[in-house]
Structure 1
Amino acid sequence: MTEIGQTLKEAREQKGLTLDDLQQTTKIQKRYLIAIESENFDALPGNFYVRAFISQYAKAVGLNDAELLAQLDEETNIQIENPVEKEATTRTEAMRMEQAEKNDFLNKLINYLPTIIIVVVVVAILGTIYIVSFGNHSKNAASDSSSQTVSVSSESEKKTSSSQKASSKKASSAKESSKKASSKASKQKIESVSSDGSTFTYNVTNAPSTNELQLTVDGSAAWSAVSANGSQVWQGTLNSGENHTVSLPSGTTTITINLGNSNSTSLKLNGKTFNYKNENSTLTVRTITLNLEQ
């Protein structure tokens, strides 16, 4: 029996996190978190998930996941299928099947080649006849259409001029809208409304109609998730030096940000730094809610 489960549990308790907090942060079901802490790995969906869940749990509570996984390999018989070898085998089989299909297609093409040649010759003859006939018809119609050319050209020029004016107005309107959105984003103001444990709420005034949230990690790896109006739009783990920009859907009124390692994560909303760490700078895991007011 390993001590991995006990190590994770003690780290969680030291950070003052409940299993419900950890479930919300990692998105791992609570029953799997309980199984990990009691080292009942058979209750997890498979060996791959044993390693993945332990790694994600460790990062959320600030432990070195690589050391725990190494300990797991040494003290248990859990064997994870090598995804690289599996992928290589799958690709080889796919290449064999593709080559077999190509060979079968070439054999069929050779069998039908005489028929294809005959069809091509017939189509070429019919095409020549059509081109000759069309050329004679065009010569007869040319004299009738010449008198209409001047009036048609004049009407075409008028339509082109009108179209250019309309395009110019649209471009000008689009530039004006872009300037207004940029000006509004520069005036946005973020104010703290309330805090409860690891949950914080802010109001964002003068927010534009479309918003961008940039997450940057400097330090140990950090898992984060972003939701718009209650629907998750992005989640992932960023390593030190990495950043990711989330474009929120138009009409978003509430942004929810779950941070697994806030000590290493910096936020920018519409290009402006959001100093959320002013609220309890020692907290590692936190949930931030931004209420947008245009």
Structure 2
Amino acid sequence: MESDYQEIGKILQDAREKLGLTLEDISSATKIQVRYLQAIENGQVDRLPGPFYVKAFIRQYANTVNLDPNTILDTKAVDDSSDDQHQDDLPNKSELKNPFIEDDDSDSNNDKKISNGPVRVGTDGIPRAGMNISFPFYKKVLARLPIIITIVVVLAAVFVVWSLSSSFRFPGASRTSISSSSASVSQKRSSASRSSRSSSSSSSSSRIALSAPTFQGNLSSMSFDDQTAHTIQVSTAGGPSWVTIDIDNIRQFSGTLPAGSSQTFNLDPNQQRFAIHIGNPARTTISFDGHDTGYSNGSNVLITNVIISRGQEGQ
């Protein structure tokens, strides 16, 4: 059984290194401590908090590196009965610590109240907050009745004043208002037409603003030479992908994009560089102002890093 877990750990480690990820990256995505991830890769599952967490942690790790956890566990013949055999090994609820959070030497930090109000305890003995006892709805309404009456009176007074002021308007005021409204509508239509033409022109220019990709190893570089804002969208299709995204060397996103999802980033006129590291390039698309960049078109290697920069000086 120990050799099975060692082989599973080797498979997970190889998949992680193939994606160019560190144990810290996996920990950030799964919220599992690094030391437990190291124990899994070394097949030392006895170092995990308990048998209860072994398969759960392996499944999370496998999903993060784009592997099927069921295939790994079934292929390596990890016996499901081991879960039943170790049920007595589970920690008591009073001693249970969160394995996703680093240990804290101060026990006083654990003596925190779950809720300021009454707490419901389930049939499994686990307390659940959120079942606070409160007053009936009608008592809440009665308590707020003076405020409601005041609001109604104020609204009624405003309506009466508006009605009286409308009845004393000069006969010519209505015609003047209609004429002014017509002129305003005409101006808005003219402005909308100019805006549409300007937007169309801007869209046409942005379509050709980005240069064709150039390659250096697994790096794809593209550039544009203007001082306007742009929108960059990263999306996935057919499978998840782990990505990290920086704008001007400031981390904007780090995690797994589920299949069929996307993240959109605005590149302001004063921002110069958009960089992305991709764990699953075959499932990842990058669009620049709504148009596919084709960042890997023409490359004979797997592109895992992409840089889009402002100016002709390069990457």
TM-score using structure 1 length: 0.58
- What is aligned with 2:205? 184
- Whole-angstrom CA distance in 1 between matches of 2:230 and 2:246: 14
- What is aligned with 2:252? 232
- Whole-angstrom CA distance in 2 between matches of 1:213 and 1:31: 31
- Whole-angstrom CA distance in 2 between matches of 1:236 and 1:101: 41
2:70 partner amino acid: A
Aligned residue pairs, count:
250
Secondary structure (helix, strand or coil) at the match of 1:176 reads helix
| Structure with greater helix percent | 1
Residue 8 (str. 1) matches residue 12 (str. 2): yes
- Whole-angstrom CA distance in 1 between matches of 2:140 and 2:207: 66
- What is aligned with 1:287? 305
Structure 2 portions without partners, runs of 5+: 91-97, 99-121
Cα gap change, 1:65 to 1:168, in 2 (>3 Å): same
Report deviation, 1:22.
0.9
- Whole-angstrom CA distance in 2 between matches of 1:175 and 1:108: 52
- Which aligned pairs between 1:206-245 and structure 2 lie closer than 5 A? 209-218=229-238, 221-229=240-248, 230-233=250-253, 235-239=255-259, 242=260, 244=262
Secondary structure (helix, strand or coil) at the match of 1:179 reads helix
CA contact 2:26–2:61 (8 Å) conserved in 1: no
- What is aligned with 2:68? 64
- Whole-angstrom CA distance in 1 between matches of 2:205 and 2:38: 47
- Whole-angstrom CA distance in 2 between matches of 1:194 and 1:25: 28
Residue 160 (str. 1) matches residue 193 (str. 2): no
Alignment partner of 1:257 out of 256, 269, 276: 276
Structure 1 portions without partners, runs of 5+: none
Seq. identity, %: 17
Q: For the pair shown, which has the larger CA radius of gyration, 1 or 2?
A: 1
- Whole-angstrom CA distance in 1 between matches of 2:171 and 2:222: 67
Secondary structure (helix, strand or coil) at the match of 1:278 reads coil
- What is aligned with 1:28? 27
- What is aligned with 1:246? 264
Secondary structure (helix, strand or coil) at the match of 1:28 reads helix
Residue 172 (str. 1) matches residue 176 (str. 2): no
TM-score using structure 2 length: 0.55
Encode CA deviations 1:58-105: one digit per residue, 9 max, x unaligned: 32xxx43333356677467698x9xxxx9xx99x975x64xx5363x4
- Whole-angstrom CA distance in 2 between matches of 1:93 and 1:31: 30
Cα gap change, 1:280 to 1:185, in 2 (>3 Å): same
CA contact 2:232–2:267 (8 Å) conserved in 1: no
- What is aligned with 1:101? 134
- Whole-angstrom CA distance in 2 between matches of 1:259 and 1:102: 53
